Structure 1
């Protein structure tokens, strides 16, 4: 029996075994040919609204590339996993040169579609690595652990109770690594920091995230890690602080969100566009373009909290930021499911 993940896709272990077997059969494969002077047509396929944190960063980068005149861009949002392979095929049949999206829930089916359209470049968010036997599919992920770690330093300094609540969508690598990095940063300021960790089983259910956060506040949390929408609303209503994730929401919660770890998808998108146009696009892992030293993530401005964050935390953030960028300090990447302490 094939190992499966909670989403019905092959487990990481089983999938990597398959990929390694494919790699053994595949040698260096050429990139996708692209006609010079042709306008690059890009399609985005998203399982949630483009306003949702994670997807919004991809969408913003694509819109920026279109505004510059580098691509023509269209997209489909709220695409169910059951419909995802069909929509991929439709865009491929319509002549799109590159398709970008997220295949976490349809890994096997999506890769089969990509294999059927070798002249189309697929740039897909994935929990798994690239497969050399499918040279037109590259993967990416939000490796913004650097910024998450820095936001944890701020949270650790601003929490008086030493109790932080953390609400996530699903315990998958993309979420887990950011939570672990945040926790490591918070412990820099308070080694005895306690964490309440919970997953709501949805990428977009603000009411459920809010209720989960309420319970954490009742259990002593005076700081919340808002991996999902709805958490900052609970913090605002209860008069405690929050840390944002992937996007900067301080304008919506000016007296609640102290800092946010921001994902910048532009380096990932621009690298893929350049390679498609140069005819060198092939199976690669674009995860490194999300690292801080590549410009893929940052800590958002403190806004209303300027002057309210302890100086020792600010000094540590500055020191660690410089070290991350010059390569003398590396934030640990831990994809294991985080637990409450």
Structure 2
């Protein structure tokens, strides 16, 4: 009896296993780690890319994905690398395609079963090409309020990479925030036409400081170095570098890519990924951005300025104040 029962049990278990496999053929695949690749035209440590890389590394650390990435990929080589990753079985490919829009979209058309989430100034492309950018104009506005309250010369210098919408909207929001607190403030605006050239950004900053700017908007790496050397202040963008410049960087608008990455991963896993604009997932209300803690400047920023800034922060989160999205190229106002 015992032997018969054991044999029957084994037969039943085998039958049940076969039935489960028939009913859920994708079960094994669902349990496997999602293969994800990223392609970056700049180093991993560059501000913008570092936030995407950080969010993907977090998913990797949780055991959700098998993550591979390429940095410093030249525009001329971008399409080839995209195709290699698409042919390599990656379910999701992430990157920034500002200089290679046409080529990237062509690759997406050729691989309709692969999901693409790309930093782009363009629109989503059905069925599988989603776009994102750093919609962090909310904390950029707040950091501008801090800057307006900290300048003594009423002159603020601003150094950006390229005058594209993703950069322009942050600079315009920063300027609007500064003018709310200090209507007398004047701005000098310059673009270095590079995403990663710290020496060039540093030289541009020196020129502005020489003309009286005592607060610098550090949209690019290199600006805070110039501010530190000349003992003026700086406002950070995308990442918080106050630990490296404790007496220089007053505040920073932080970008959190996790809400966007986590959404994309969830949709890919369930087979529901479609072409959409991920920009809104970078808003403060969606935990995609925030103003960094004032840290070493907590007691140095005037109390009335902090109070105004915190009130505006609450209004943004409550939806009673919306930071204007102005993608036009910002202009210098200094005489």
TM-score normalised by the chain length of structure 1: 0.89
| Greater alpha carbon shift after TM alignment, 91-100 vs 37-46 | 37-46
Deviation at 1:247?
A: 0.3
Deviation at 1:36?
A: 2.4
Hey, what's the Cα distance between the residues in 2 that align with 1:124 and 1:231?
27
Q: 2:111 aligns with which of 117, 126, 149?
A: 117
Q: 2:278 aligns with which of 274, 279, 286?
A: 286
Matched, 1:337 2:329: yes
Deviation at 1:78?
A: 0.2
Hey, what's the Cα distance between the residues in 1 that align with 2:221 and 2:310?
28
Q: State the Cα deviation string for residues 144-198 of structure 1 (Å, max 9, x = none).
A: 0001000000000000111000000100011000000000010011112100000
Matched, 1:57 2:51: yes
Partner of 2:296: 304
Hey, what's the Cα distance between the residues in 1 that align with 2:45 and 2:162?
19
Matched, 1:173 2:189: no
Matched, 1:316 2:308: yes
**Residue pairs, 1:1-341, within 5 angstroms:** 35-131=29-125, 134-341=126-333
Hey, what's the Cα distance between the residues in 1 that align with 2:65 and 2:315?
35
Answer with 1 or 2: which has the greater Rg: 2
5+ residue gaps in structure 1?
1-32
Helix, strand or coil for the counterpart of 1:139?
Answer: strand
Deviation at 1:37?
A: 2.2
Hey, what's the Cα distance between the residues in 2 that align with 1:313 and 1:70?
43
Hey, what's the Cα distance between the residues in 2 that align with 1:300 and 1:70?
28
Hey, what's the Cα distance between the residues in 2 that align with 1:68 and 1:38?
13
Helix, strand or coil for the counterpart of 2:260?
Answer: helix
Q: State the Cα deviation string for residues 5-49 of structure 1 (Å, max 9, x = none).
A: xxxxxxxxxxxxxxxxxxxxxxxxxxxx99522321110100000
Hey, what's the Cα distance between the residues in 2 that align with 1:196 and 1:115?
42
5+ residue gaps in structure 2?
1-25
Deviation at 1:209?
A: 0.5
State the 4+ residue runs in structure 1 displaced beyond 2 angstroms: 33-38
Hey, what's the Cα distance between the residues in 2 that align with 1:313 and 1:84?
45
Q: State the Cα deviation string for residues 207-235 of structure 1 (Å, max 9, x = none).
A: 11111001001111010000001100110
Hey, what's the Cα distance between the residues in 2 that align with 1:318 and 1:245?
18
Hey, what's the Cα distance between the residues in 2 that align with 1:61 and 1:52?
14
Hey, what's the Cα distance between the residues in 2 that align with 1:114 and 1:154?
42
RMSD: 1.1
